Amino acid sequence: MLKKSLFLCLLVLIIFIGCNKNETLYKVVGVKDGDTMVLLSPDKQSITVRLAEVDCPEKSQAFGQAAKQFTSALCFGKMVKLVGNQHDRYGRTVGEVVLENGTNVNHELVKQGYAWQYRTYSKSMELAMLEQQARQNRLGLWQDENPTPPWNFRKEEKTQRVEKKVKKVKKPNKKRRSRKHQDTVAF
């Protein structure tokens, strides 16, 4: 009996501590594009966050500006919880952003048709289902007949930049013959 009472008290204490755990909240102070934002920590440190497992159209791509506006309307100026602390090659924190009301910004972007599930980095069945529903309902970018995934768009842009550089380098160098040389060659 004593063991059961002690166990029950311990369980209640663990639950109480878990529920009262102070979670750090950040203020959204900037939205760079649909899946990248700037958060301000309680100690006034700026943190650039790349939303995990999703990929929005690039700003110069169809629906890129709409994705940015959607993200801004959803969370700019609001307090959010940041889940995750990995960093990408650009030094951005990669994670999920959750509003105080529990709305997961990453999931909401996919659900409303403003992002793809980034399958290279995500195996989430929930995100896959949200994307499929958005496609079926032709929401956001799914209004297009054949939307280009942002990873393909970036790859194509990079290829075009490289080709442009190669063309500049391969331009034939038109050397002018000196007048003296031209005179001696002509018979």
Q: Is position 23 annotated as part of the catalytic site?
A: no
Pick the catalytic residue: 53, 58, 108, 131? 58
Query: Among candidates 86, 122, 92, 87, which has minimal Cα distance to 107?
Result: 122
Q: Where are the alpha helices (DSSP H) in the chain?
A: 2-19, 64-75, 105-111, 125-136, 150-170, 179-185
Active site residue: 92, 96, 108, 131, which one? 92
User: Which of 62, 37, 58 shows the shortest CA–CA distance to 142?
Assistant: 62
Active site residue 176: no
Task: Examine the residue annotation and report whether 138 is marked as an active-site residue of this protein.
Answer: no
Task: Say if CB 54 and CB 110 are below 8 A apart.
Answer: yes
Q: Catalytic site residues?
A: 50, 58, 92
